[in-house]
Structure 1
Amino acid sequence: MNLARKLAAREREGRPLRVGLIGAGKFGAMFLAQARTTPGLHVLGIADLSPARARAALRQTGWAADDLATSFADAVASRKVAITDDAEALIAADGLDVVIDATGSPAAGIRHACAAIAAGRHVVMVTVEADVLAGPLLARRAADAGVVYSAAYGDQPALVCEMVDWAQACGFQVIAAGKGTRHLPAFHQSTPETVWDNLAIAPDMAQAGGMNPQMFNSFVDGTKSAIEMAAISNMTGLQAPRDGLLFPPCGVDDLPRILRPRAEGGVLETAGMVEVVSSLETDGRPVFRDLRWGVYVVLGADPAAGGDYARRCFKEYGLVTDPSGRYTALYRPYHLIGLELGISVASAGLRHEPTGCPIGFHADVAAVAKRDLDVGETLDGEGGYTVYGRLMRAPDSLAAGVLPIGLAHGVRLTRRVAQGTAIGWADVEIADSPVVRIRRDMEAMFGLRAVAGTQAPG
């Protein structure tokens, strides 16, 4: 609360919060649409490998040609937008407060976050793949530098973190938290060739809409869900399912009944977990009142701490509960992606608070073979033909030496891997690179505590 007032005050004072956007794709364009109408916010610059794409994003979202600046200095003086293909130059621009990475590339996201932290800029990380690959280390570096490293509001992880924080601040026990999606078990083998059938989208419509089949396939095959739940686990301490996400079919009215511990009739190993619910029954029928586009938290009233009174209140105020009356759920049916991103920017820049930030290395996402893979094959990464991402607990991931999904692109197999098997570091030939070193540094920093099952330093 009060972010709008704080922004309005900055507007009156002539001190707008200056923002640099890296990546002018869909998420970035959605942010630009709202930034244009947000008092107290100044998009100082946009960095994209294709400056023409950045200019097109501005046009599509209502910006005029005379909104463009000739340089960063001109942008500051005139309150216009400078466009560049050099992200490092944007990060270094005088007067910049907050850097948004919306590239979608884990390697680029990590590189930009490191540069921004070194330059004393707050970071809003839209690229959740980068956050899952090395977010706990980036958060530690940001804290040491006195800046904020934040998840992106509007995307599901930050929205779920807000719900978890609300529930815990109210004194409730968080039983489960997560999101909805459209999923069937067979979708783990989905490829860019089958993605439109699995999404029930006509291929010609997808082509006309400029939809990238590999990117969309990462939503279908379960990889994106695993990545987002790993991010939530690392930001809240909620546990990942030991054997990967279950994707139980579940509508909003059944959340407190299905997402409770197995010992009490639900599907969870224990209380306090992340999970994704499917909008499809196992036979493909639609779930009644599904949560395909939304997020949820299941909370409980602790009987040992006045829970019987809270349970009566649940009933008195019309909440849907499980049969015991102890568990209930709150949900949000939609999320607005980049249209809501300004919340993170304002929170980081004005409050110095993230809208979600890793507090430890609790969960990881392994690269798992979609089919039998032979020696010499090259992995094609998230949403491709060879691998999908499976959620794991970080101690299990480290103990098994699995290859993170964020590094499973363009690397060659040195061993055969059977379908459904997690690929290990030892199974691939992977070149040294800055992103590999960052990941290894994170494993070294957090590994012993993660394997021991305790919270890593945050």
Structure 2
Amino acid sequence: MNLASKLKERAADGRPVRVGLIGAGKFGSMFLAQVRTTVGLHLMAVADLSAERARKAMTNTGWDVDAAVTASLDDARSSGRTCITEDAEALIRAGGLDVVIDATGNPAAGIHHALLAAENGRHMVMVNVEADVLAGAYLAEQFRKAGLVYSLAYGDQPALVCEMVDWAETCGFKVVAAGKGTKYMPSYHQSTPDTVWTHFGITPEAAALGGMNPQMFNSFIDGTKSSIEMAAISNATGLKAPRDGLIFPAAGAHDLPFVLRPKTDGGVLEESGMVEVVTSVERDGRQVVNDLRWGVYVVFEAGSADERGAYTRRCFSEYNITTDPTGRYAALYRTVHLIGLELGVSVAAAALRGEATGAPTAFRSDVVAVAKKELTAGEMLDGEGGYTVWGRVMRADDSLAVGALPIGLAHKVKLTRPVAPGAVVRWDDVAIEDSQAVRIRRTMEQAAQAKRAIAAE
């Protein structure tokens, strides 16, 4: 409750928190809109593959670019202005920088930027949840060893859900389920960049006018993004992923504790303590009442079902908490999230408190590549949101057992043998070149397998 006051103190002392942003796309632009007006934050630099795109993003979000921008990182640090650069590594190495934000969406780039940030003593806010799910447990450990913060991005749904889970557990509640809402139908798993705009209800022309990338937005529709976000939450909180992937039950806000409780108590969960995504449409296409399409939620339990939990259940009733008919299961939810507009919370928490707004503590869940169609030997996979594969969440134990290929490495990779529709693509099915991302991922997998072997002894 005191981040704003701490930022103001830093500003008054002439020591603003210096931030470097990598990636001036939609999420980055939303942060640009708010960092300009946040007392105590100094956007020292923006790095993008296109300096002109970064300039346009700043202009579009209310900056007086001519007055605010400098070409020198040293001048930016001393003058309080912002340097625009196409060199992300130079940004990370710049003297005086406190926090690096990776908003690129490219998992290999995110891993590279994170390791460089840890090496140079910078806290890291990883908007790039694709990188986090691919190698987050490894990255977070490197930052911990360096005495630095590695954090999920507040405003994005995983960090908001982590906050809700933390709230529930701090209050002594048992978390039964947590996650977000979306729009989902089973057929969406076969969606491609050619069909994506029909699901959003807009024309390709309108999407192009808004600068919307069809492959990126298709990852929101085909189930990949939901799987990635739930894996990130699982790895950060300890909640489990469904063994057969997300089931996307239809549920309005008022029905969350009724639907998202264990099957043994009449719900849809295979067990208590799960991540799950609820859909805003029924399977027959009808709109869900009080849908949570843009929101997040946590379902929690009032102690026990016996008389020891009776007082808490009575309090739920007295204060009109949303519960199931028994009063045992309750829900707290938020109907919207503001994405990059809220990102400053993560930056301030890292720099001023040394705290993450969510971070992986173990490799518990994975997101693997699943064939959208019949794939043939020699065919090139095109990654998240593309024409060939979508990402399905799996428990890490199961992913490692079958040698599944993570969705974050399923881009520009050639198949060496055919894969049937709906089948998991495996490491053995592809010819993959050596890279930093591949090595880090393999290192994380080996560490996880070693820990499990020790635990099994």
* Same fold, judged at TM 0.5 (above): yes
For residues 354 and 195 of structure 1, what CA distance do their matches in structure 2 show?
Answer: 34
Change (3 A) 1:453 1:296: farther
- Report the residue type matching 2:336 in the other structure: Y
Partner of 1:338: 340
Partner of 1:14: 14
Partner of 2:385: 383
Alignment of 1:305-384 (within 5 A): 306-384=308-386
For residues 28 and 442 of structure 1, what CA distance do their matches in structure 2 show?
Answer: 28
Deviations 1:27-67 (A, max 9, x none): 11110110000011000001111000111111111111111
- Report the residue type matching 1:134 in the other structure: A
For residues 325 and 32 of structure 2, what CA distance do their matches in structure 1 show?
Answer: 46
Partner of 1:157: 158
Change (3 A) 1:452 1:181: farther
Change (3 A) 1:451 1:216: farther
Alignment of 1:74-89 (within 5 A): 74-89=75-90
Alignment of 1:128-207 (within 5 A): 128-207=129-208
Which among 424, 430, 433 is matched to residue 422 of structure 1?
A: 424
- Partner secondary structure for residue 366 of structure 2: strand
For residues 452 and 285 of structure 1, what CA distance do their matches in structure 2 show?
Answer: 50
- Partner secondary structure for residue 436 of structure 1: helix
Instruction: For residue 447 of structure 1, report the CA deviation from its aligned partner.
Output: 2.4
Contact 1:179–1:296 (CA<8 Å) still a contact in 2? Answer: yes
Change (3 A) 1:222 1:333: same
For residues 191 and 266 of structure 1, what CA distance do their matches in structure 2 show?
Answer: 32
For residues 99 and 271 of structure 1, what CA distance do their matches in structure 2 show?
Answer: 36
- Report the residue type matching 1:50 in the other structure: S
- Report the residue type matching 2:2 in the other structure: N
- Partner secondary structure for residue 12 of structure 2: helix
Partner of 1:62: 62
For residues 281 and 428 of structure 1, what CA distance do their matches in structure 2 show?
Answer: 37
Partner of 1:28: 28
- Partner secondary structure for residue 384 of structure 2: coil
For residues 371 and 73 of structure 1, what CA distance do their matches in structure 2 show?
Answer: 52
Instruction: For residue 305 of structure 1, report the CA deviation from its aligned partner.
Output: 8.7
Partner of 1:409: 411
Alignment of 1:47-58 (within 5 A): 47-58=47-58
Alignment of 1:281-320 (within 5 A): 281-303=282-304, 306-320=308-322
Contact 1:395–1:452 (CA<8 Å) still a contact in 2? Answer: no
For residues 453 and 387 of structure 2, what CA distance do their matches in structure 1 show?
Answer: 31
- Report the residue type matching 1:84 in the other structure: T
Instruction: Return 5+ residue gaps in structure 2 as ranges.
Output: none
Instruction: For residue 450 of structure 1, report the CA deviation from its aligned partner.
Output: 5.0
User: Which segment drifts farther, 388-397 or 199-208?
Assistant: 199-208
Instruction: For residue 453 of structure 1, report the CA deviation from its aligned partner.
Output: 7.8
User: Which segment drifts farther, 319-328 or 331-340?
Assistant: 319-328
- Report the residue type matching 1:214 in the other structure: Q
For residues 202 and 53 of structure 1, what CA distance do their matches in structure 2 show?
Answer: 24
For residues 154 and 448 of structure 2, what CA distance do their matches in structure 1 show?
Answer: 26
- Partner secondary structure for residue 83 of structure 1: strand
Contact 1:398–1:451 (CA<8 Å) still a contact in 2? Answer: no
Instruction: For residue 324 of structure 1, report the CA deviation from its aligned partner.
Output: 1.0
For residues 178 and 268 of structure 2, what CA distance do their matches in structure 1 show?
Answer: 13
For residues 97 and 306 of structure 1, what CA distance do their matches in structure 2 show?
Answer: 48
Deviations 1:81-125 (A, max 9, x none): 001111110001010000000011000000000000000100000
Change (3 A) 1:25 1:256: same
Partner of 1:276: 277
Instruction: For residue 390 of structure 1, report the CA deviation from its aligned partner.
Output: 0.4
Partner of 2:439: 437
Identity of aligned residues (%): 65
Which among 394, 397, 400 is matched to residue 398 of structure 1?
A: 400
- Partner secondary structure for residue 124 of structure 1: strand
Contact 2:89–2:113 (CA<8 Å) still a contact in 1? Answer: yes
- Report the residue type matching 1:416 in the other structure: P
For residues 322 and 106 of structure 2, what CA distance do their matches in structure 1 show?
Answer: 41
- Report the residue type matching 2:23 in the other structure: G
Instruction: For residue 448 of structure 1, report the CA deviation from its aligned partner.
Output: 3.1
- Partner secondary structure for residue 417 of structure 1: coil
For residues 288 and 204 of structure 2, what CA distance do their matches in structure 1 show?
Answer: 25
TM, length-normalised to structure 2 = 0.98
- Report the residue type matching 1:184 in the other structure: M
Partner of 2:239: 238
Contact 1:67–1:80 (CA<8 Å) still a contact in 2? Answer: yes
- Partner secondary structure for residue 327 of structure 2: coil
Contact 1:395–1:453 (CA<8 Å) still a contact in 2? Answer: no
Q: What is the total number of aligned residue pairs between the two structures?
A: 454
Change (3 A) 1:224 1:452: farther
For residues 450 and 53 of structure 1, what CA distance do their matches in structure 2 show?
Answer: 46
Contact 1:394–1:450 (CA<8 Å) still a contact in 2? Answer: no
- Report the residue type matching 2:29 in the other structure: A
Contact 2:414–2:432 (CA<8 Å) still a contact in 1? Answer: yes
User: Which segment drifts farther, 394-403 or 62-71?
Assistant: 62-71
Instruction: For residue 306 of structure 1, report the CA deviation from its aligned partner.
Output: 3.5
Partner of 1:38: 38
For residues 312 and 228 of structure 1, what CA distance do their matches in structure 2 show?
Answer: 34
What is the root-mean-square deviation of aligned Cα atoms in Å?
1.1
Partner of 2:209: 208
- Partner secondary structure for residue 284 of structure 1: coil
